[in-house]
């Protein structure tokens, strides 16, 4: 059935945005549509039949209040806030100074000697010097400028209970930002203004600056929310609220900080770091090894996927439910780009002769990555596009690559009593969290390409396994409350969780 949004009564309403922080001038409206005018490029969209009442599944009042402590409560999150930065420095020291082996106190070393040894390495290679501050903040400001100046599309988030179920408008142009960033980085490198190899050469210092910012900013945001009275779903525990965040939708003008941190920073930095190591290898050896090329491809795929599907991310849990605190901010600014890259660091610190695998092994890992990526991309697209079809906000885009089966033509779904819908076809029919499984396989392939000499490239898959298991558990608990009996019916129709026909 082809129809326009106006005929379905789904034309978005003007929204109120009390959380906007108007510190940046309002965006010029030339060339781009305002959120009020936003519409798909071809003015018509395919809307699958809804429950006929035009209702949306909203967050219930039970979900919208702080219910219980997660992550081990205040003590658990305190440990994480102290432990994550220390762990990141420790892993960096191991990969940089100990060929990727975990360093421990030697027999004739006291614990104090051992810590002093680590501290010496920190001062030697990870001291946050002025140049690193300039690189990190130069990059942040540059990406911010791209956000407000490049063309993009508008879409809307999910209904927010504390805004009377209004949907915030989101401006999405990460894909343009990504390719503009690549072009500018290439020009800066070729002209010698900023050789891209600086990123790998100064990795430790840049990481330290990102860690320090990732630690301080959540506290500032907490106090900002307190002063402006924009706290939301608070637990009452200071440290827990700094960790989980106090504010739900922090914005600077049109820049949605959660989208900015989640889509652009981690994956752009990761990709540029890997490119940096590829260029360094080319300069040193005159070629780029298949393993380093693999990582450039893998990190490009991930950064590109997040960018090209940016408008689909606005309906995800992180955007409409999670607040912006240490968990999202630190992890996206420091954790993701500077721990997921241990595969890159290991290869950057090794001569290509030290990691030469058979052609069959290399081909196997390439296929593993590409196969997993295909399912990852299409599963996320299927659900997000289905959701946006139901909301009447699907925006047809031609961002590369558009893969077969990204959109399900005639999806089957459950009409839920709360007004929502649950997709029961596409990849979901085979496993409800198959996108978690294949995302994990992607992370595993990043480690496999480096071989087995060091455990550090496997830090990401191991950590990610824990993240995804915990995330799946939290999500299922939340959905059980939200969808009640409909969730049971969904589990009956789509019985497998992670692996089709097995688990
Ligand atoms: P999901 O994409 O599974 O989103 C879960 C939500 O989707 C549910 O809360 C529910 O929300 C909705 N939903 C669940 N089942 C259905 C269905 N059958 N039909 C329609 N809607 C449904 O999880 P995430 O947002 O956690 O992850 C998205 C992707 O991001 C994954 O591929 C994951 O691997 C990846 N990811 C990567 C990370 C990384 O660091 N590399 C970190 C986190 C995620 P609703 O309330 O709307 O019904």
Q: How far is the CA of 140 from the centre of ligand 1 (A)?
A: 27
Complete DSSP assignment for 138-192 = HHHHHHHHHHHHS--EEEE---BGGGTTB--EEEE-HHHHHHHHHHHHHHHHHTT
pLDDT of res. 395: 75
Does the pLDDT value for residue 228 go beyond 70? yes
Query: Is 315 in a helix, a strand, or coil?
Result: coil
pLDDT of res. 56: 47
**Does 471 contact ligand 1 (Cβ within 6 A)?**
yes
Q: Are strands 169-172 and 153-156 parallel, antiparallel or unpaired?
A: antiparallel
pLDDT of res. 59: 54
**Does 117 contact ligand 1 (Cβ within 6 A)?**
no
**Does 422 contact ligand 1 (Cβ within 6 A)?**
yes
Residues facing residue 46 across a β-bridge: 2
Write out pLDDT tens, residues 365-402: 999 999 999 999 999 999 988 987 887 777 778 888 98
99 near 349, Cβ under 8 Å?
yes
> Could you tell me the pLDDT band of residue 61, with boundaries at 50, 70 and 90?
low
pLDDT > 70 in the chain, percent? 87
Q: How far apart are CA 376 and CA 442, in angstroms?
A: 9
Neighbours of 387 (CB within 10 A): 20
**Does 428 contact ligand 1 (Cβ within 6 A)?**
yes
**Does 340 contact ligand 1 (Cβ within 6 A)?**
no
Mutational test site, ligand 1, from 261, 415, 439, 478, max ligand atoms within 8 Å of CB:
439
H/E segment holding residue 468: helix 459-483
Task: Give the position, in ligand 1's atom list, of the atom nearest the Cα of 422.
Answer: 19
Cis peptide before 252 (omega within 30 of 0): no
Does the pLDDT value for residue 47 go beyond 70? no
Task: Give the position, in ligand 1's atom list, of the atom nearest the Cα of 316.
Answer: 25
Does the pLDDT value for residue 106 go beyond 60? yes
Q: How far is the CA of 453 from the centre of ligand 1 (A)?
A: 34
Does the pLDDT value for residue 428 go beyond 80? yes
pLDDT of res. 63: 59
The pair of three-digit structure tokens given for residue 39, joined into one six-digit string = 């519409």
Does the pLDDT value for residue 127 go beyond 60? yes
Q: How far apart are CA 413 and CA 375, in angstroms?
A: 20
**Does 172 contact ligand 1 (Cβ within 6 A)?**
no
Residues facing residue 111 across a β-bridge: none
**Does 423 contact ligand 1 (Cβ within 6 A)?**
yes
Write out pLDDT tens, residues 302-315: 999 999 989 888 87
pLDDT of res. 14: 38
Complete DSSP assignment for 411-458 = --EEE-TTS-EEE-SGGGGT-TTHHHHHHHHHHHHHHHTT-SS-SGGG
**∠301-302-303 over CA atoms, to 5°?**
95
Sign of the torsion angle spanned by Cα atoms 499, 327, 127, 277: positive
φ and ψ of 128, to 5 deg: -75, 80
Mutational test site, ligand 1, from 383, 390, 461, max ligand atoms within 8 Å of CB:
383
**Does 479 contact ligand 1 (Cβ within 6 A)?**
yes
Q: Span 69-93, mean pLDDT?
A: 97
Q: How far apart are CA 293 and CA 288, in angstroms?
A: 6
Write out pLDDT tens, residues 447-462: 999 999 999 999 999 9
Q: How far is the CA of 317 from the centre of ligand 1 (A)?
A: 7
Does the pLDDT value for residue 263 go beyond 80? yes
**Does 255 contact ligand 1 (Cβ within 6 A)?**
no
Mutational test site, ligand 1, from 327, 479, 480, 490, max ligand atoms within 8 Å of CB:
479
**Does 316 contact ligand 1 (Cβ within 6 A)?**
yes
**Does 301 contact ligand 1 (Cβ within 6 A)?**
no
Q: Span 186-212, mean pLDDT?
A: 98
Q: How far is the CA of 437 from the centre of ligand 1 (A)?
A: 12
Does the pLDDT value for residue 90 go beyond 70? yes
**Does 267 contact ligand 1 (Cβ within 6 A)?**
no
Intra-chain end-to-end CA distance of the chain, in Å? 36
Q: For residues 49-72, b (16+ Cβ closer than 10 Å) or e, as one string? A: ebeeeeebbbbeeeeeeeeeebbe
Query: Is 483 in a helix, a strand, or coil?
Result: helix
Q: How far apart are CA 335 and CA 434, in angstroms?
A: 24
pLDDT of res. 52: 31
Rg value, the chain, Cα: 23
Does the pLDDT value for residue 21 go beyond 80? no
Q: How far apart are CA 446 and CA 503, in angstroms?
A: 24
Task: Give the position, in ligand 1's atom list, of the atom nearest the Cα of 386.
Answer: 20
Task: Give the position, in ligand 1's atom list, of the atom nearest the Cα of 443.
Answer: 41
pLDDT of res. 355: 96
pLDDT of res. 247: 95
Q: How far is the CA of 313 from the centre of ligand 1 (A)?
A: 9
Rounded (to 5) percent helix, strand, coil in the chain: 60, 5, 35
Task: Give the position, in ligand 1's atom list, of the atom nearest the Cα of 433.
Answer: 3
pLDDT of res. 162: 81
Q: For residues 241-277, b (16+ Cβ closer than 10 Å) or e, as one string? A: bbbbbbbbbbbbbbbbbbbbbbbbbbbbbbbbbbbbb
Task: Give the position, in ligand 1's atom list, of the atom nearest the Cα of 379.
Answer: 32
Does the pLDDT value for residue 194 go beyond 70? yes
**Does 475 contact ligand 1 (Cβ within 6 A)?**
yes
Q: How far apart are CA 102 and CA 486, in angstroms?
A: 48
Give the DSSP letter of residue 101: P
Mean pLDDT for all residues in the chain: 88
Mutational test site, ligand 1, from 407, 435, 486, max ligand atoms within 8 Å of CB:
435
Residues facing residue 45 across a β-bridge: 3
pLDDT of res. 396: 77
Q: How far is the CA of 333 from the centre of ligand 1 (A)?
A: 21
Mutational test site, ligand 1, from 422, 426, 464, max ligand atoms within 8 Å of CB:
422
pLDDT of res. 62: 55
Q: How far is the CA of 498 from the centre of ligand 1 (A)?
A: 13
- C-alpha distances in angstroms, 353 versus 15, 100, 297, 366? 59, 16, 21, 20
Q: How far is the CA of 223 from the centre of ligand 1 (A)?
A: 30
Range name among 22-36, 117-131, 189-203, 291-305 with the lowest pLDDT average: 22-36
φ and ψ of 45, to 5 deg: -130, 155
pLDDT of res. 42: 32
**Does 383 contact ligand 1 (Cβ within 6 A)?**
yes
Task: Kindly report the protein residue whose alpha carbon is nearest to atom 20 of ligand 1.
Answer: 422
> Could you tell me the pLDDT band of residue 60, with boundaries at 50, 70 and 90?
low
Q: How far apart are CA 425 and CA 429, in angstroms?
A: 5
């Amino acid at each position: 059935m082809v129809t326009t949004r106006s005929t379905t009564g789904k034309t978005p309403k003007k929204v109120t945005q009390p959380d906007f922080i108007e510190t940046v001038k309002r965006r010029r409206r030339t060339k781009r549509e305002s959120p009020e005018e936003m519409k798909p490029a071809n003015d018509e969209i395919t809307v699958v039949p809804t429950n006929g009442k035009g209702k949306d599944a909203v967050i219930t009042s039970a979900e919208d209040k702080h219910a219980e402590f997660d992550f081990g409560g205040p003590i658990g999150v305190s440990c994480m806030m102290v432990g994550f930065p220390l762990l990141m420095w420790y892993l960096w020291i191991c990969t940089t100074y100990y060929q990727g082996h975990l360093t421990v106190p030697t027999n004739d070393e006291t614990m104090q000697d051992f810590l002093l040894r680590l501290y010496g390495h920190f001062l030697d290679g990870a001291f946050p010097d002025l140049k690193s501050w300039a690189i990190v903040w130069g990059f942040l400001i540059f990406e911010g400028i791209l956000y407000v100046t490049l063309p993009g599309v508008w879409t809307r988030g999910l209904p927010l209970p504390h805004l009377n179920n209004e949907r915030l408008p989101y401006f999405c142009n990460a894909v343009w930002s990504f390719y503009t960033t690549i072009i500018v980085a290439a020009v800066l490198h070729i002209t010698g203004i900023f050789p891209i190899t600086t990123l790998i050469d100064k990795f430790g210092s840049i990481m330290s600056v990102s860690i320090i910012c990732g630690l301080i900013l959540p506290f500032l945001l907490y106090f900002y929310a307190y002063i402006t009275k924009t706290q939301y779903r608070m637990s009452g525990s200071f440290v827990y609220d700094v960790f989980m965040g106090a504010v739900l939708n922090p914005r600077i003008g049109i820049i949605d900080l959660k989208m900015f941190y989640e889509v652009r920073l981690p994956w752009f930095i990761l990709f540029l770091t890997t490119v940096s190591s590829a260029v360094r290898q080319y300069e040193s050896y005159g070629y780029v090894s298949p393993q380093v090329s693999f990582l450039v491809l893998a990190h490009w795929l991930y950064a590109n996927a997040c960018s090209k599907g940016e408008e689909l991310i606005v309906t995800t849990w992180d955007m409409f439910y999670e607040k912006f605190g240490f968990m999202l901010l630190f992890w996206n600014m420091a954790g993701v780009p500077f721990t997921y890259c241990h595969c890159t660091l290991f290869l950057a610190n090794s001569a290509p002769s030290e990691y030469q695998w058979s052609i069959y092994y290399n081909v196997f890992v390439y296929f593993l990555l590409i196969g997993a990526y295909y399912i990852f991309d299409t599963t996320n697209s299927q659900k997000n596009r289905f959701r946006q079809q139901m909301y009447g906000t699907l925006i047809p885009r031609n961002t590369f690559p558009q893969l077969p089966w990204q959109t399900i033509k005639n999806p089957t779904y459950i009409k839920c009593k709360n007004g929502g819908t649950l997709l029961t076809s596409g990849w979901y029919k085979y496993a409800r969290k198959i996108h978690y499984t294949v995302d994990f396989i992607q992370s595993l392939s990043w480690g496999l390409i480096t071989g087995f000499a060091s455990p550090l490239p496997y830090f990401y898959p191991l950590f990610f396994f824990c993240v995804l298991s915990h995330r799946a558990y939290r999500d299922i608990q939340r959905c059980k409350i939200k969808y009640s009996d409909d969730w049971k019916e969904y589990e009956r129709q789509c019985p497998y969780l992670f692996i089709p026909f097995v688990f």
